[in-house]
Structure 1
Amino acid sequence: MKRTATAIALVLALSGAAAPAFAADPAPKTFAEATEGLTRQEGLLRVFVDQDGGKVLVQLPAPGANGVMARVIHHTALRTGVGSAVTGLDRAQIGATNILSFRRIGKKIVAEFENPKYEAPHGSPEEQAAARDAFVGSTVWAGDVVATGPDGSVLVDLSAFLTRDAMGIVETLKAAGQGSLKPMSDLTMVDPAATKSFPDNLEMEARLTFGVDSPGRELSQIAPEPRLATFTVHHSFIKLPDDQYQPREFDPRTGAFATNVTDYSAPLNEAMVHRLASRFRLVKTDPTAARSTVVKPIVFYVDRAAPEPIRSALVEGAGWWAQAFDAAGYIDAFKVEVMPEGADPLDARYNVVNWVNRATRSWSYGQSVVDPRTGEIVKGSVLLGSLRIRQDMLIFEGLVGADHTGDGSVNDPQRIALARIRQLAAHEVGHAIGLQHNFAASTQGRASVMDYPVPKIGVTADDQLDFSDAYAVGMGAWDDFAIDWLYSDADKAALAKKAEEGRARLRFANDADARVGGDAQPWGSLWDNGEDPVAELDHILKIRRIALDRFGLRNLPAGAAVNDLRRRLVPIYLYHRYQVDAVSKLVGGIDYSYPVSGGGQEAATAVPADVQRAALAALTRTLNPAELDLPEPLLALLAAQQSGDGDPQNDIEVFKGLNGRAFDPGVAADVAADVTLDALFAPQRVNRIADAGRRDPAALGLGETVDVITAAAFAPAEGRLAEPARRVQAQTVLTLAGLLKGDDLSSTSAAVIDDRLQALAVKLKASRAADPVQRAHDRWLGALIGDRDRLDQLLEDKHHAPATPPGSPIGAEEGWHDNDA
């Protein structure tokens, strides 16, 4: 039951009690009173900056018929990051993009994110309202009206909107194991000095500080006070693009990114879900000309934080895209320049290649801010990790020697690393202008910068490595095709024809068909080379052996600790790891593309059985003890120790041995064996191999696959090669047994593997090997297979599964376009 103030006062009066005083609402301020002494900025919206009070006020126009006062594209970005690969919170990292609307409800102004994924644009007003109201929106903030103007406009303080955790920092750091975070209101504030107003965008910032309970390793190592983490979060408010942009329907054959929109007003004979390709607006000055200049070119700016000669390499590599746009008929449509001095990389007006520092190496990213209603890209942002080129230098010095650095030869690691970073700049800008990865391009003569390129290394007659053709220069055939389809002004029929012609002549494999170890697509691999994966693996193994046989002090820069050889050894010892993945995908592989109804239909086909058997034989060569052994002089160097505080990266990227501080060559062999066995015996692949025999009696079957590998693993080995052989044998047994422990195998796969293991156990338990160590090892493995409890415990504890040191990124990013990576 409600009681009004008047009623209460009457009751009190009748009872003789004194009536309480009810404060009247304060008289609303006028605009002049509310903005007195504040700095006024004219732009997309009128802004008043209160430097002394630490506030930013915005004048919103009178509400329209729908109650909305302003609608903008809003996104956030980090001015300051953690500096850690683990957290993913990097300088210039972009947050989510939303359509933000402000509306007045009583004395409040609310900010809400609209839900443009569901609409009925061609329906009646009632249909449009039904689509809009059926799906949840998000009110993210509400604030009081500070003043109201005679024209109905209002003044509102946006400070609380700016200081909320819009980047999801709390959840991100918690998920990364960096502790539980709580906002510290007394240490969180708007930075009024960062407010900038322009006709098409507003830029604002806030400093957010969080208290951290039980900080994780990354925060503890990086933050000066790990219990307090402070971030500067940037907010961009961007004018909604006009309706002259022509959305482009996504086509799965073309490698574009897509934004999904569901149209509930679509006719029954048309699809409701439209996938719109993401791209910049590009308009010819002469729409009737096959070749024309453009009204507004796409311009990317390279961060001035990138030092020379890296900065010039980034400008050159990113600028390769001009070739593709020119081939598509757009003259001077794409440009790359150094960022103007004093310009802000987070300003929405600039497409930027940012240079990002981290404590340890990590991915680079190509991102874009996309209008979710149409797929139009309104800002491109690239994050290049500064340590990536250092890692490339380390690898190249490991291959040819640090004594070549700076000598200007074709084998100069600095020259090669700069060639690689040109590729990286082109690759990440490719994401920012709308392109996915194409991990099949490397099988067609380096057809795209959107693949992950491994250096193409020649071997001379006298076994010298030759880097003269390490990396391609410029655009490939796929890049030209993808830009032509994505940006040309062709009609729907012409676009479909372009897409089909591209599919018919060019291979394409995106992330979903390339990144998982058990993927079936035989052409979709990372860091591989060549049309023939098997031949390339043999070539890579030759390069690896040449480098390992010569590995030593010459691979260290002058003055470096000899112990640093342990880190430099890892990418050389495991130099074949990515080509192993490529060869494994031939086994149980299925070749397919991304056709559409009405296009040229291409049935998926299994990789021929003889090619699969050749691939299996090649994989056994990686398990040869001679490939896993290290020269004795090198082992003597690897015994060297380091004193003082170490580089955190060194702690991450070395083989973790069981010999104390001494180097453990056995663990290196364990890891190399795991590289092959884990790739080959990925559960999805195992199931496909098991099913193949049912469909084709001539196919490579699972029983044959296991027999070939176990025969290679248990081939006799003597002398110094006996120990790496035993490591391979143990890893083979544990890998196969581990498959049975999981629930990813089909019943047929499990039956075949269990049968082969039991037969192997009988043979091993009856071992009569002349070498007593080998005999004991055989019998131990045989008994272990028969003792499921002990075997399961061993697999659970992972005592015999040393961690493989990180490999990617060895020269490109593991993540991708951030509208989705």
Structure 2
Amino acid sequence: MSKSMIALLLASAIPLAPAAAQDSLVPVAADLQQGTIELTLPAPDSEGVAARFLYVAQIETGVGSAATGVDRGAPLQTGILRFRRLGKKVVAELENTGFVAPAGSAAQQQSVANSFTNATMWVGDIGKTAADGSFTFDFAPFLAKDHFGFARQLGKGYKLEAGYSLADPAKVKAFPENVEFSALLSFSTDNAPPELRNVSPNGSDISLWVRHSLVALPTEPMPRRTDPYGYTFSTRTYDFSAPLGRSMLVKLAERHRLEKVDPSAERSPVKEPIVYYVDGAAPEPVRQALIDGVGWWAEAFEEAGFLDAFRVEVLPEGIDPLDMRYNVVNWVNRATRGWSYGPSIVDPRTGEILKGSVMLGSLRVRQDILIFQALMGAGLTDSGQPDDPVKVALARIRQLGAHEVGHTLGLSHNFAASSQGRYSVMDYPAPRVELVDGKLTIADAYGVGVGEWDKFAIRYLYAAKTDEEARAMVQEAQARGLRFVADADTAGTGTANPQASQWDDFTDPVAELGRVMAVRRAALDRFNVDAIPSGQDMASLRRAFVPVWLLHRYQVVAAAKALGGVVAPYALSGDAVSVEPVSAEQQEQALAALLDALSVEALTVPARLLPILSYAPGTDFDYSTTIEVMPTAGGPVFDPLRATEIGAVHVLDNLLDPQRLNRIDLQRANGIGGPSLDEVLSRLIVHADQAAASGEAGRRIATTIALDLARTTRDGALSRSIALQIEGRLASWAAKLAKAPAKGALGDWQRGLALLLRDRTALDAALADKNLLPEVPPGMPIG
């Protein structure tokens, strides 16, 4: 949208007074004295329905706690809201658009509509009725309700304070295509959790503003396009008019309306470009980085044949970022770092994206700078050199802006991108840290521009006119070897596809783990007081140390997927792709690499770091730091053995994931090569015995192995026969330990562990103690 058009739309905003606005989507009269917001709707039809609108709710002011997800700019609810008159009452009900019969007869469509429930959101009193049948009612009570479950989301006994919750007539804005309302919602509790005590001015009460929009439904619904492959975000419906023998589930591809001036031309200018506005609240140089990164999408649309189809600008002053007419990249502040999001507001009938509403967490860039300073030294900050932490963090911000806007263009994650050389911004990229001549460098930490997958995905989503044409594009992409793996097959320790992980890098995840472990060793050798800026509290070194100590955490997840792994592509009947298990050789290499990451050498904190990590905090309690650091032995003393245990837990949680162990057993039963479950257990216990003999750090690793094995047997996701096999192996190990001839600390440890493993009650009690197997400090999101 051009600036001249914005100015025209701003001029069309209707100043509201007690008299109803005339040139408005719906006549509305906001009375500042009485606090009422009266809507006037036309005479109802034969079924009592007076009006239907797209209803959109968004969070206008957030809570500031990443843990709650109650963020400024977040969409809450989208649907078709209809107003029905029943006697002296008006009913606001949300239509059920999930079950339809678009190709059916009128009778079939009515049957489907009558077979599924709608949702009554509110019932109000009608104030007056005109001679033509139109009627007026006060909409303010609807706006002041907690329609969205905030009280439940906040938790800990929070409840809506109805007396402190109300709509504001002064904030009503009326336009020809949409009307905007704002309401204050207030919540209280006697038992606020730490993450909310940290942000509430009085430690408990929470207040926020919610934006409600009534929007004109598109008069010409966009043609429906499906996405059976899952490459895009989709609106799902069940089609009761589908031919017999065909699936009723329809996944409508979500996309913006984009029409060529000449539909028959392969390349053509568009009637109305897609325009995104970057929130002016984003500070420089972040704002310019976002403009640059979001602007990368112009190339993808250009290659898909849409000329001058995508633009990005700074949001002009005076424009409301929640106004339904604008796609906005919002800059969101929280007390602690958290995720960024790319949600869209969509017409549920067709999948048409009506507004992109990106939310970028402002602390992400600061977390990146902290990591890069810890790796390279804070002295390089703002130096302009290739390894400057700020320069590299801005490179990530460009990619993050492109990534989240990609979601609001309709694209889902593609976590296979890193396995083919940065070919999509829709992956989570690892910062590429390299060793050059023995020295660390982050000069090539992130890629630039959209990749080959992104260009294909835009063409698939926007240029294909039919499902058949889209499928032909997919088959061409498959023939080129382009990979795609979605969230469901990526997130979590138990997923199976080694081509898909978050924050991993390069083609071979096992070889990359070995490379990253070498980088980690160099980073630990380099780590010193210069990891934080001069003049900063020395205790903050503990926070800077965590991402260095756990630099390998995401590559461990990726490498573990090769063990019992399988590459299962997305395909439709007739596509020429196949499912392939990971080779026995790579599975063996994965097990060896994971055991190397579990070694005493890898999990021993260098002794020289203990003094500089043991400074007492020089500041008052800081919640945002406390949740990021590893627990200490007590007081200011840094606990290197706790760090050892945390490193071991992370490797074991991935190696011993129940789904992974189930697959290992399943593969062996089906004659597929790779380490057997017996081999995994044998090598793990031999590793534990050897580690324990090396000293205290090794005994911490060995104890963690024993406890994690025992914990795994109690997981309901694990096959019971495998659980029994592990328990039998633990019993044999306990018997061996009980007879061990070693003296001193090692012998005492061996006999103590044997006693614990043999006492089911004591072992259950130990596993119930959350402190025994420590939690790994938060990592996600990085970058």
The TM-score, its normalising length taken from structure 2, stands at 0.95
1:354-503 residue pairs with structure 2 within 5 A? 354-461=330-437, 463-503=438-478
Of the structure 1 ranges 371-380 and 651-660, higher mean CA displacement relative to structure 2 is found in: 651-660
Contact 2:658 2:715 in 1 (8 A): no
Structure whose CA Rg is larger: 1
Question: How far apart, CA to CA, are the structure 1 residues paired with 2:635 and 2:689?
Answer: 29
Query: Is residue 68 from structure 1 mapped to residue 49 from structure 2 by the alignment?
Result: yes
The letter of the residue matching 1:796 is: A
SS at match of 2:287: helix
1:255-654 residue pairs with structure 2 within 5 A? 255-461=231-437, 463-504=438-479, 505-600=481-576, 602-654=577-629
Superposed CA offset, 1:621-651 (max 9, x none): 1112111122222111111111341321211
Of the structure 1 ranges 758-767 and 802-811, higher mean CA displacement relative to structure 2 is found in: 758-767
Question: How far apart, CA to CA, are the structure 1 residues paired with 2:165 and 2:143?
Answer: 10
1:656-805 residue pairs with structure 2 within 5 A? 656-696=631-671, 698-715=673-690, 722-769=695-742, 772-805=744-777
* Among 192, 201, 209, the residue aligned to 1:232: 209
Shift of 1:39: 5.8
Contact 2:36 2:140 in 1 (8 A): yes
Of the structure 1 ranges 114-123 and 518-527, higher mean CA displacement relative to structure 2 is found in: 114-123
- In structure 2, do the counterparts of structure 1 residues 788 and 101 end up closer, same or farther at CA, with 3 Å as the change threshold? same
Equivalent residue, structure 1, for 2:117: 136
Shift of 1:36: 9.0
Equivalent residue, structure 2, for 1:25: none
- In structure 2, do the counterparts of structure 1 residues 201 and 777 end up closer, same or farther at CA, with 3 Å as the change threshold? same
The letter of the residue matching 1:743 is: G
Shift of 1:60: 0.9
Question: How far apart, CA to CA, are the structure 2 residues paired with 1:595 and 1:749?
Answer: 32
Superposed CA offset, 1:297-354 (max 9, x none): 1111111110000001011111111111111111111111110111111100111111
- In structure 2, do the counterparts of structure 1 residues 705 and 37 end up closer, same or farther at CA, with 3 Å as the change threshold? closer
Contact 1:734 1:795 in 2 (8 A): yes
Question: How far apart, CA to CA, are the structure 1 residues paired with 2:146 and 2:717?
Answer: 39
SS at match of 1:122: coil
The letter of the residue matching 1:742 is: D
Contact 1:39 1:50 in 2 (8 A): no
SS at match of 1:684: helix
Shift of 1:408: 0.6
SS at match of 2:461: helix
Question: CA RMSD, aligned part only?
Answer: 1.6
Shift of 1:104: 1.3
- In structure 2, do the counterparts of structure 1 residues 225 and 497 end up closer, same or farther at CA, with 3 Å as the change threshold? same
Contact 2:376 2:441 in 1 (8 A): no
- In structure 2, do the counterparts of structure 1 residues 609 and 57 end up closer, same or farther at CA, with 3 Å as the change threshold? same
Shift of 1:126: 2.1
Question: How far apart, CA to CA, are the structure 1 residues paired with 2:599 and 2:648?
Answer: 9
Shift of 1:716: 5.3
Runs ≥4 residues deviating over 4 A: none
Question: How far apart, CA to CA, are the structure 2 residues paired with 1:782 and 1:568?
Answer: 38
Superposed CA offset, 1:268-306 (max 9, x none): 243322111111111111101101111111111111110
Question: How far apart, CA to CA, are the structure 2 residues paired with 1:119 and 1:399?
Answer: 55
Contact 1:40 1:49 in 2 (8 A): no
Contact 2:101 2:112 in 1 (8 A): yes
Question: How far apart, CA to CA, are the structure 2 residues paired with 1:366 and 1:82?
Answer: 19
Contact 1:758 1:786 in 2 (8 A): yes
The TM-score, its normalising length taken from structure 1, stands at 0.91
Superposed CA offset, 1:376-427 (max 9, x none): 1111111111001010000000110101101111100000000001111111
Contact 2:99 2:239 in 1 (8 A): yes
Question: How far apart, CA to CA, are the structure 2 residues paired with 1:467 and 1:697?
Answer: 40
Contact 2:616 2:635 in 1 (8 A): no
Shift of 1:570: 0.5
SS at match of 2:136: strand
Instruction: Specify every segment of 5 or more residues in structure 2 that has no aligned partner in the other structure, as ranges.
Output: 1-15
Question: How far apart, CA to CA, are the structure 1 residues paired with 2:43 and 2:250?
Answer: 34
Question: How far apart, CA to CA, are the structure 1 residues paired with 2:128 and 2:572?
Answer: 57
Contact 1:513 1:520 in 2 (8 A): yes
Contact 1:623 1:713 in 2 (8 A): no
Contact 1:201 1:236 in 2 (8 A): yes
SS at match of 1:662: coil
Question: How far apart, CA to CA, are the structure 2 residues paired with 1:51 and 1:321?
Answer: 45
SS at match of 1:40: coil
Contact 2:493 2:654 in 1 (8 A): yes
Contact 1:77 1:167 in 2 (8 A): no
Superposed CA offset, 1:123-143 (max 9, x none): 233222111010011111122
The letter of the residue matching 2:467 is: K
Identity over the aligned pairs, expressed in percent?
Answer: 45
SS at match of 2:453: helix
Equivalent residue, structure 2, for 1:809: 781
Superposed CA offset, 1:727-773 (max 9, x none): 11001101111112232221331232123212222222222336x11
The letter of the residue matching 1:289 is: A
SS at match of 1:637: coil
